[in-house]
A and B are shown apart, each in its own frame.
Chain A
Amino acid sequence: MKKLAILLLILLMAPWAYADQALVQKAKEEGKAAFYANITAIQPIMEQFTKDKGVTGEYTRISTSKFLATVLTEHQAGKLMADVLQSPLPIMKLLKDNGVLAPYTSPAAASYPAWTRKDDAIQIFGIEYVALIYNKELVKAQDVPKQYEDLTDPKWKGKIVMANPSAHATTISWLIGLKENVFPSEKAWMKFVKGLAANKPMLVKSFGPTPAPVESGEKLIAISMPKYIITKAPAPLDWARVKQPLLGTPRGIAVTASASHPNAAKLFVDYWLSKDAMQMLADKVGEYVLHPGVYPPIDGIDKAKVLPIRVLSDGEIRSWGGKFKKIFDVP
């Protein structure tokens, strides 16, 4: 019986394995896969891909604010050099609307949660999670926030740093995510937002500059990303284990419609979604990935509930940005 089961399994796997071999062969003939993204330190993944598959992985990093403009400019001029694109989900959707992406369902995505596989072109593989990051040397254990509302306590006045909620799209989406997923009522949420504003947080350009003031002790707590606990080790950073879920913008990956290396593109997406690559992303960069059983090596993260934020339209983001501008008193 057992032998039969194994035989059956092999028979079932064979076409997939064969298909995989054929893909590798074609991808090798194409030589390389060009990858555009804005993600920290993924060189090890590119190198491993090149080594394992014999196809060169070439990484171009384009910052999020220029991502759409760059890709669309190249696409419209017929010069898109990318075979694979990766960015926050709202940008991926806009790219799809502009006909930049090609449909592809990667066999490697089979084990991912169903909600990540809904789109025929974009595969969601991670969440850019946001949390309260504090200086563990300067904040006493009993003072660490236990819920988001604790940030409104006047003891944090002048001690918080966050990205500008009137302009930073991800932070705006995060605040809206709290309203829709975490707070019991809009009134309770508005009380939180106003209380946070009353504590006069230092507002910076994006998430990038949020951890440094906390490390150096200029500020004590940041609305920031837990991945910095990994990338900035041994800085004295830790995340507040709030009782509510953590939220973040989903990240997606897709192959381009005009890929000059279409097979290498598919092979790259398959590799990217594999447990090995996702483990590297979690270990080295601290990313929250959606491959089952893979977590970044941050204490307690495997127990946290991390939810994706709905994709907000740019109109919605601007309108909320305008409201936060008034509440946070940004000129």
Chain B
Amino acid sequence: MLNTRTALTPSLIAIVGFLTVCPVVMLVFGSFSEGIGAFGTFTLEKYIESYTDPEFANIIVNTVIFTIGSAFVATLLALFLAYLNTRTNIPFKFLFRIISIIPMMIPHILFSVSWVLLLNPSNGLINLFLRQILSLENSPFNIYTLGGMILVEGLLDLPIAYLILAPAMAAFDVSLEESSKVSGASNLRTLTRVTLPVLRPAILASFILVIVRSLASFAVPSIIGMPGRIYVLATHIYRIIATGFAADFGMAAAVGMSALAASITLIYLYRYLTSESEKYVTISSRGYRPALIELKNAKYPLFGIVALLSFVLIVLPVLVLFYTSLVPYSMVPSAKAFSMMSGKHWLQVLKDPISLLSLKNSVFLGIVGASLGVILSIFVSYVIVKVRTPAAGVLESLSFLSFSFPGIVIGVGFMWFFVRTPLYATIWSLLIGYIATYLPYGIRPLTSAFIQIHSHLEESSRVCGGGTLYTLRRIIIPLLIPGVVSGWILMATMFVRELTLSVVLSRPGTEVLAVQILRFAEDGLWGKLSALGIMMIFISSTLVVIASLIGTKLTKVEEESR
């Protein structure tokens, strides 16, 4: 047993390291090289120039506010939703699953543009409406602010937070709460004194993942931040690349190194804060069945909040999408707009051979990529949680390496790497790149699920003669199914709409959806973009439904056999 464990860690470090280190190493070379390629004469000039820029301090302040703010919005909303869904008798629970997934499937550019249409100070629909009913002179809201950026990014990252928190919440040992209540604590006190502290690893995981993600996010900073003249790290990097025709990705990488350093620090901080992992174990060999809390009078007011959230998160953006796919150009809804609606954009997309090929490729990458990614994530999470040696810490940091780089830069890192391999310009380069970059999407939900499983369970299996694989298959995996499903969904929906790597690596024959969508965006063809966007949401939804059904079925089988 011990031997298999010892062999497992180094081999995983080798695999994950190979996947994530290669592009980053290329970027490190690029950042220290003169000229604009990966290799050149050694220079520190790029670091000196980028870090002595007087604007840099200001950009860091904005970035910190933006990322932490988004993490707060996403994590708090996700906690609220996950708690109501898994622990109370709130009605219409199916809504929660949908709320938590939909923003994952909408192309981020489109979601941001929908919010601009709703909240821009000149003629945003919500502003126009409020001005009319309250007879205001000026618009009450301005989306082009840090607050606007945080709101939209927070909503976009809500699925990440939810899919990490919900499995942990579902695997919660109720006896802890029962003890609290028996000792006379109220529901609220139990929540703040018992439930939330026990969920600390999952809450921290969600918080950190959202910070890292929003650090790399480009859609919101460019569509909402730039017009408001608010620059964060990602848009600052874009500015470095865009000013001039010989885009210097080495210099961009030099700036990106600070994002990388921040992410690695956060991961070590996270490991430190959760180092006494035994404290958080909640599924032990004792009986486990989450009980539902009776909401009584609070039931419908709380549901009202959920309904409002679903309206804002799903109904509005999807409606805006549908509407945009039907009108001939960007127009504020009016009688004229409705009279001009047609299915023209839909027909054009359906007749476009490249759009169809990109649909096919994205479905392939979504299914095969997420499946391989989740398998790798199971092993990696197991080592991260159960082995907890310094090597496991290295593995955890490695898994975040490509993920924490701003997207525009990591894509080039992968290109610099793949061009030296026979994989260049094939669909396999996309597949490997996706798994390498988005590994944390598989690992995070799985580690928060692993943390909840007490080692007594494995020890019992081992005492009865079960080997590592047997223990994994019969004890661990069944308890992990909610985490596996979450990870698969996060990865599959991410791969279906992946843009940053694809835009650099895709070539004729390996076109994918997001790249096609970006091209429509670059040409300002919002109608076609929305039509293809809706097809993308449809594909992702189908994948999510299938994954959830399989997950439910497997969990049931386990319960019956128990």
Asked if A and B bind, the verdict is yes
Binding site for B on A (CB under 8 A): 34, 40-41, 43, 58-61, 63-66, 68-70, 72-74, 76-77, 79, 81, 88, 90-91, 94, 158, 164, 166-169, 172, 202-206, 208-209, 211-213, 215-219, 228, 231-235, 314, 317-318, 321, 329-331
Q: Does B117 count as interface, using CB distance less than 8 angstroms?
A: yes
Name the contact of A70 in the complex, choosing from B227, B332, B504, B519 (C-beta under 8 A).
B504
Q: How many A-B residue pairs have CB under 8 A?
A: 145
Bound Cα distance from A236 to B218, whole angstroms: 30
The answer to whether B330 touches A73, judged by C-beta atoms less than 8 angstroms apart, is no
- Return the chain B residue nearest A237 by Cβ: B329
The answer to whether B243 touches A88, judged by C-beta atoms less than 8 angstroms apart, is no
A213-B330, A314-B245 given; name 8 further pairs at CB < 8 Å.
A164-B226, A167-B239, A202-B227, A203-B227, A215-B330, A218-B116, A317-B245, A331-B55
Q: Does B123 count as interface, using CB distance less than 8 angstroms?
A: yes
Contacts of B238 in A (CB 8 A): 65, 167, 205
- Return the chain B residue nearest A201 by Cβ: B227
The answer to whether A69 touches B249, judged by C-beta atoms less than 8 angstroms apart, is yes
- Return the chain A residue nearest B218 by Cβ: A205
A-B contacts, 24 of them at CB < 8 A, read A58-B508, A63-B522, A66-B503, A68-B36, A70-B415, A72-B37, A79-B419, A94-B245, A158-B122, A164-B226, A168-B243, A169-B242, A205-B226, A205-B242, A208-B523, A208-B524, A215-B331, A217-B123, A219-B122, A231-B524, A232-B524, A232-B525, A331-B229, A331-B230
Name the contact of B123 in the complex, choosing from A40, A41, A72, A218 (C-beta under 8 A).
A218
Contacts of A217 in B (CB 8 A): 122-123, 331-332
Q: Give the top 8 A-B pairs by smallest Cβ distance, nearest first.
A: A314-B244, A235-B329, A216-B330, A215-B330, A167-B239, A77-B419, A90-B245, A212-B330
Q: Does B462 count as interface, using CB distance less than 8 angstroms?
A: no
- Return the chain A residue nearest B521 by Cβ: A208
Bound Cα distance from A117 to B328, whole angstroms: 40
- Smallest CB separation, B225 vs chain A (Å): 10
Q: Does B247 count as interface, using CB distance less than 8 angstroms?
A: yes
Bound Cα distance from A221 to B120, whole angstroms: 16
Bound Cα distance from A205 to B241, whole angstroms: 12
Bound Cα distance from A7 to B231, whole angstroms: 69
- Return the chain B residue nearest A328 by Cβ: B229
Name the contact of A218 in the complex, choosing from B58, B120, B245, B521 (C-beta under 8 A).
B120
Contacts of B518 in A (CB 8 A): 63
- Return the chain A residue nearest B62 by Cβ: A331
Name the contact of B38 in the complex, choosing from A68, A73, A158 (C-beta under 8 A).
A73
Contacts of A76 in B (CB 8 A): 37
Bound Cα distance from A84 to B110, whole angstroms: 33
Residue-wise, chain B 487-521 has the 8 Å CB interface mask toward A (1 for contact) of 00000000000000001100110000000001101
The answer to whether A211 touches B412, judged by C-beta atoms less than 8 angstroms apart, is no
Name the contact of B242 in the complex, choosing from A60, A65, A231, A330 (C-beta under 8 A).
A65
Chain B residues 321-359 with CB under 8 Å of chain A are: 328-332, 340, 354
Contacts of A158 in B (CB 8 A): 122
Given contact pairs A70-B415, A330-B229, A167 touches B508 in the complex (Cβ within 8 A): no
The answer to whether A216 touches B243, judged by C-beta atoms less than 8 angstroms apart, is no
Bound Cα distance from A50 to B241, whole angstroms: 35
Given contact pairs A41-B523, A69-B36, A72-B37, A216 touches B419 in the complex (Cβ within 8 A): no
- Smallest CB separation, A237 vs chain B (Å): 8
Bound Cα distance from A203 to B244, whole angstroms: 17
Bound Cα distance from A168 to B240, whole angstroms: 10
Contacts of B519 in A (CB 8 A): 61
Contacts of B58 in A (CB 8 A): 331
The answer to whether B415 touches A73, judged by C-beta atoms less than 8 angstroms apart, is yes
- Return the chain A residue nearest B518 by Cβ: A63
Name the contact of A235 in the complex, choosing from B116, B117, B328 (C-beta under 8 A).
B328
- Smallest CB separation, B122 vs chain A (Å): 5
- Smallest CB separation, A306 vs chain B (Å): 21
The answer to whether B243 touches A321, judged by C-beta atoms less than 8 angstroms apart, is yes
Bound Cα distance from A218 to B227, whole angstroms: 12
Bound Cα distance from A209 to B110, whole angstroms: 12
Bound Cα distance from A202 to B227, whole angstroms: 5
Bound Cα distance from A65 to B271, whole angstroms: 38
Residue-wise, chain B 112-125 has the 8 Å CB interface mask toward A (1 for contact) of 01001100101110
Q: Does B416 count as interface, using CB distance less than 8 angstroms?
A: yes
B222, B226, B416, B504 pick with most chain A CB within 10 angstroms: B226
The answer to whether A167 touches B242, judged by C-beta atoms less than 8 angstroms apart, is yes
Contacts of B420 in A (CB 8 A): 77
The answer to whether A73 touches B419, judged by C-beta atoms less than 8 angstroms apart, is yes
Chain B binding surface, main DSSP class: loop
Q: Does B223 count as interface, using CB distance less than 8 angstroms?
A: yes
Bound Cα distance from A164 to B229, whole angstroms: 9
Given contact pairs A73-B37, A77-B420, A202-B227, A216 touches B524 in the complex (Cβ within 8 A): no
Contacts of B227 in A (CB 8 A): 202-204
The answer to whether B247 touches A318, judged by C-beta atoms less than 8 angstroms apart, is no
Bound Cα distance from A211 to B238, whole angstroms: 21
Contacts of A68 in B (CB 8 A): 36, 245-247
- Return the chain B residue nearest A330 by Cβ: B229
- Return the chain A residue nearest B113 by Cβ: A212
Bound Cα distance from A180 to B58, whole angstroms: 35
Contacts of B117 in A (CB 8 A): 216
Chain B residues 513-562 with CB under 8 Å of chain A are: 518-519, 521-526
- Return the chain B residue nearest A159 by Cβ: B122
Contacts of A70 in B (CB 8 A): 415, 504
Bound Cα distance from A232 to B231, whole angstroms: 30
The answer to whether A69 touches B247, judged by C-beta atoms less than 8 angstroms apart, is yes
Q: Does B303 count as interface, using CB distance less than 8 angstroms?
A: no
Q: Does B379 count as interface, using CB distance less than 8 angstroms?
A: no
Given contact pairs A69-B249, A216-B332, A235-B330, A209 touches B243 in the complex (Cβ within 8 A): no
The answer to whether A65 touches B247, judged by C-beta atoms less than 8 angstroms apart, is yes
The answer to whether A234 touches B328, judged by C-beta atoms less than 8 angstroms apart, is yes
Bound Cα distance from A235 to B522, whole angstroms: 17
Q: Does B425 count as interface, using CB distance less than 8 angstroms?
A: yes
Q: Does B270 count as interface, using CB distance less than 8 angstroms?
A: no
Contacts of A74 in B (CB 8 A): 419
Name the contact of A166 in the complex, choosing from B37, B223, B239, B507 (C-beta under 8 A).
B239
- Smallest CB separation, A254 vs chain B (Å): 15
- Return the chain B residue nearest A214 by Cβ: B330
Bound Cα distance from A231 to B113, whole angstroms: 20
Given contact pairs A69-B412, A208-B522, A331-B58, A168 touches B123 in the complex (Cβ within 8 A): no
The answer to whether B503 touches A63, judged by C-beta atoms less than 8 angstroms apart, is yes
Given contact pairs A76-B37, A77-B420, A216-B331, A66 touches B523 in the complex (Cβ within 8 A): no
Name the contact of A66 in the complex, choosing from B231, B247, B521 (C-beta under 8 A).
B247
Q: Does B424 count as interface, using CB distance less than 8 angstroms?
A: yes
- Smallest CB separation, B72 vs chain A (Å): 24
Name the contact of B223 in the complex, choosing from A90, A209, A232 (C-beta under 8 A).
A209
Name the contact of A88 in the complex, choosing from B36, B37, B245, B329 (C-beta under 8 A).
B245
- Smallest CB separation, A311 vs chain B (Å): 9
Contacts of B229 in A (CB 8 A): 203, 329-331
Bound Cα distance from A68 to B523, whole angstroms: 20
Contacts of A321 in B (CB 8 A): 243
Contacts of A209 in B (CB 8 A): 223, 524
The answer to whether A94 touches B329, judged by C-beta atoms less than 8 angstroms apart, is no
Contacts of B424 in A (CB 8 A): 77, 79
- Smallest CB separation, B412 vs chain A (Å): 6
The answer to whether A73 touches B416, judged by C-beta atoms less than 8 angstroms apart, is yes
The answer to whether B244 touches A169, judged by C-beta atoms less than 8 angstroms apart, is yes
- Return the chain A residue nearest B222 by Cβ: A205
Given contact pairs A81-B425, A331-B231, A211 touches B524 in the complex (Cβ within 8 A): yes
Contacts of A211 in B (CB 8 A): 524
The answer to whether A91 touches B245, judged by C-beta atoms less than 8 angstroms apart, is yes
- Return the chain A residue nearest B120 by Cβ: A218
Bound Cα distance from A228 to B120, whole angstroms: 23
Bound Cα distance from A331 to B63, whole angstroms: 13
The answer to whether A215 touches B329, judged by C-beta atoms less than 8 angstroms apart, is yes
Bound Cα distance from A169 to B415, whole angstroms: 24
- Return the chain B residue nearest A173 by Cβ: B245
- Smallest CB separation, B280 vs chain A (Å): 42
